[in-house]
């Protein structure tokens, strides 16, 4: 049984560019959450998707957007990249209504 998978594992972009990160949830999970983890910090909640809709959002600007597909997989899009967007982006999945999250290994994004 595959866990949460994310792609790519590493990515290098320059300021102003756009990036798309992808996530496949654990089998049987229908809810996907995205987190940003800066170096030396705990994960910060970006948003959560269920039934292809954004259900909750953290304190992130509109440059951060997402999508969930009918197969429950999800994408995170970041526009107009800033240096401060450099971080590990984590995807987590859970069955709807369950707080215990299962995390992927993340995508390490570097913005130069």
Residue 102 binds to another protein (criterion: CB under 8 A): yes
Q: How far apart are CA 64 and CA 111, in angstroms?
A: 15
Kindly identify the residues of this chain, within the stretch 60-89, that bind another protein according to CB under 8 A: none
Which residue, chain included where needed, has tokens 């798309």? 20
Please state the closest distance from residue 22 (CB atom) to another protein, in A.
15
- Read out DSSP for 54-76? EEEE-S--TTEEEEE-TTS-EEE
Residue 44 binds to another protein (criterion: CB under 8 A): yes
Assess contact for 90 and 106: CB atoms under 8 A: yes
Residue 21 binds to another protein (criterion: CB under 8 A): no
Residue 58 binds to another protein (criterion: CB under 8 A): yes
Task: Give the end-to-end CA distance of the chain in Å, rounded to a whole number.
Answer: 37
Residue 106 binds to another protein (criterion: CB under 8 A): yes
Residue 105 binds to another protein (criterion: CB under 8 A): yes
Closest to 86 measured CA to CA, from 3, 10, 7 = 10
Judged by the rule CB under 8 A, the positions of this chain that interact with another protein are 4, 33, 35, 40-45, 48, 50, 55-56, 58, 90, 92, 96-97, 99-106
């Amino acid at each position: 049984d595959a866990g949460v998978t994310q792609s790519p594992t590493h990515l290098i972009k320059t300021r102003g560019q756009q990036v798309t990160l992808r996530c496949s949830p654990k089998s049987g999970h229908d809810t996907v959450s995205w987190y940003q983890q800066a170096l030396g910090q705990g994960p910060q909640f970006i948003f959560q998707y269920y039934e292809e809709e954004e259900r909750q959002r953290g304190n992130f600007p509109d440059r951060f957007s997402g999508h969930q597909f009918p197969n429950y997989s999800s994408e995170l899009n970041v526009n107009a990249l800033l240096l401060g967007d450099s971080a590990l982006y984590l995807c987590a999945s859970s069955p709807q209504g369950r707080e215990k999250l299962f995390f992927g290994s993340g995508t390490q994004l570097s913005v130069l």
